[in-house]
Amino acid sequence: MEQPRVFDRIADDERLDAVGDALRRGVHAVLRPGVVKDLLHGVFLGHPLHPALVQVPIGCFASAAVLDIGGNSRDAARLIGLGVLSSVPAAAAGLADYADSQQDHRRVGVVHAAANSAALVCYVASLALRAKGRRRGGVLSAMAGLTFSMAGATLGGDLAFRRAVGANHSEHASRVGPADWCDLGYVEQFAESKPTRRMAGDIPVLVVRRGEDFAVLHDQCSHMSGPLSEGELTEVDGVDCVQCPWHGSVFRLDDGRPAHGPATAPQQRLDSRVRGSRLEVKMA
């Protein structure tokens, strides 16, 4: 029988839940929904912020290793200092995403965070050793830090590319949703201001009736595929929105853009029209 990959074994390991759940509760206690949380998720970018921020410490640490090998310990120490400082916002953005992820992802996330924390400890120790004139110890400590950092980055890649953390879970709707008008049923079947789920061809859609108008979005949340039709209608800055029931992302009904994270990508939107007494939709 084929052995599960090491990362899959981590994702299945329930022993990580005690630490993972405590960390999640801690992040939620500190980071309440609002501007800072949205900023850390990257809502303003339309893209997760964490992968962009981690480029700085990883680049600094890798470059410092090259300088150390070349004997330029002084500039290596400067880069390590910059790498340590830039790790702080990168970790904050990662923790924000971590706290709004699902349990198997959090297990991998805990190990990812532990590897990066170990790297940070090694780099701080490296700076301390260099400050005392112990260059050899400082270089060895930095090399240990780079090893932990690469392990952390590999786990981050597993989260992003295998487990689709941070990916847009609504993007495929533009390709598999109905390109031509598709019937959703009689108009009177849709109650006023009540999220309703229907199938439009191969994709589930959320329909919200607002008088004579209809807002229609892909029903799978772009964050992690949560069912928007089971969410609550709400208002942000006077704009009608729907809130995902899973992690609280809020999307504008008019254009599908996220008003609040953790989602950063918009929901795919569908055009609608009433023909006779029936509602029809197609991908916008």
**Binding positions for ligand FES, rule: CB under 6 A:** 221, 223-224, 226, 244, 246-249, 262-263
- Distance CA(46)–CA(39), nearest Å, equals 11
Query: C-beta of 26: minimal distance to ligand FES in Å?
Result: 19
SS3 content of the chain, % helix, strand, coil (to 5): 50, 20, 30
Torsion of CA 159, 31, 245, 164, to 10 degrees: -10
| Residue 278 neighbours by CB distance under 10 Å | 13
Query: C-beta of 114: minimal distance to ligand FES in Å?
Result: 24
Query: C-beta of 111: minimal distance to ligand FES in Å?
Result: 22
The residues that bridge with 209 in the sheet, in sequence order, are: 192, 214
- Distance CA(236)–CA(259), nearest Å, equals 7
Q: Which is nearer to ligand FES, 26 or 33 (CB)?
A: 33
| Residue 55 neighbours by CB distance under 10 Å | 11
Q: Which is nearer to ligand FES, 97 or 280 (CB)?
A: 97
Q: Which is nearer to ligand FES, 200 or 221 (CB)?
A: 221
Q: Which is nearer to ligand FES, 60 or 96 (CB)?
A: 96
- Between the alpha carbon of residue 101 and those of residues 17, 97, 107, 213, 224, the distances in Å are 13, 7, 10, 34, 8
Angle at 97 between CA 246 and CA 14, to 5 degrees: 75
Q: Which is nearer to ligand FES, 67 or 228 (CB)?
A: 228
Q: Which is nearer to ligand FES, 116 or 249 (CB)?
A: 249
Q: Which is nearer to ligand FES, 145 or 231 (CB)?
A: 231
Query: C-beta of 226: minimal distance to ligand FES in Å?
Result: 3
Query: C-beta of 243: minimal distance to ligand FES in Å?
Result: 8
Query: C-beta of 278: minimal distance to ligand FES in Å?
Result: 30
According to DSSP, the β-strands at 203-210 and 196-200 are antiparallel
Give the max Cα distance, the chain: 83
Residue with tokens 């952390």: 152
Query: C-beta of 33: minimal distance to ligand FES in Å?
Result: 11
